[in-house]
Amino acid sequence: MNTKEDYEKKLEEIKAIEEDQVKIPNNIPVDVYMQEVNNLYQWCRNDKETLTVLGLNWELVTDLPARVGALMEAESRWNEQRFSGKEAAKKWQEESPIAYDLRDDILQCFRYAFRKDDELLRKIAHFPEGKAHTDMIQELNDLAVIGRDNPLLLKKINFDMTLLDRAAETSPRMRKLLAAANCERKRANDGKNIRDRAYTHLKEAVDRIYECGQFAFRKDEERRRGYRSNYMYKRRKRYEGKAPIEEGEPSDSLVTNPGNKVEFIPNEVGRQPERR
């Protein structure tokens, strides 16, 4: 069974986990944790009789590969979603200042061109009316409409009428881009939630196996050491000052991914940054 099949098989069970029970892998990289679980799976298979006599449900052991596969797939999906979200947010950050400048430039020209027409001035008096990006997007379209309805006043100040076309084209494009950025952010948040649930589902089984193995081999350190996280064990020892960190020393025989941290998409794209 591949990771996609593991994910689909486990998805409903993962989603059913109560929100207050969901764990977040802040203390150990997910790739390291999954490898340690694979190591545990191989290690404990020789201890089936000893562990089951103490009440361990052996199905927790046989289910480990599927739980690891589900977590691996969930992690990959979240990574894909959050990077897509970052790209959409980056594109918005690149294009939105240009749209704001266009809005401001047209508005300044209108205020001068309509300075002797109180009715027209009232139409644009509330621009800009708010700090939300949606305000700017709507105002671009409104300005294009007002400008096309009053070409004579604009031509008197030698206004570039092509700016109205740009405003009319920019408004729907920026609306779609804003929606895409916010949608990708939501997808990434949803993906992270499923990843955390998949981790919780795996951790539930691992913790029970660790607990039973630690007790079963409490007098046999050679076997007992297989029922713990080497990553967390070495980390605790370092914090206690019993195992100083050596430059270039890996946490275990594995090479960990130092970049595997919980990252978030920037705050929802919906508010105008402070403008100077």
CATH of the domain at 50: 1.10.287
In a domain, residue 248? The reply is no
- Residue numbers of the domain that contains 64: 3-239
In a domain, residue 250? The reply is no
Question: Two tokens at 228?
Answer: 């713990």
In a domain, residue 20? The reply is yes
What b/e readout covers 236-273, taking b as 16+ CB neighbours within 10 angstroms?
eeeeeeeeeeeeeeebeeeeeeeebeeeebeeebeeee
What is the number of domains present in the chain? Answer: 1
Give, for all 276 residues of the chain, the pLDDT tens digit.
689 999 999 999 999 999 999 999 988 999 999 999 999 999 999 999 999 999 999 999 999 999 999 999 999 999 888 887 778 888 899 999 999 999 999 999 999 999 999 999 999 988 876 578 999 999 999 999 999 999 999 999 999 999 999 999 999 999 988 988 888 788 888 999 999 999 999 999 999 999 999 999 999 999 999 999 999 988 887 877 654 443 333 333 332 333 333 333 333 444 444 443
Q: What is the pTM of this model?
A: 0.67
In a domain, residue 268? The reply is no
Burial class (CB in 10 A: 0-12, 13-18, 19+), 197: buried
In a domain, residue 276? The reply is no
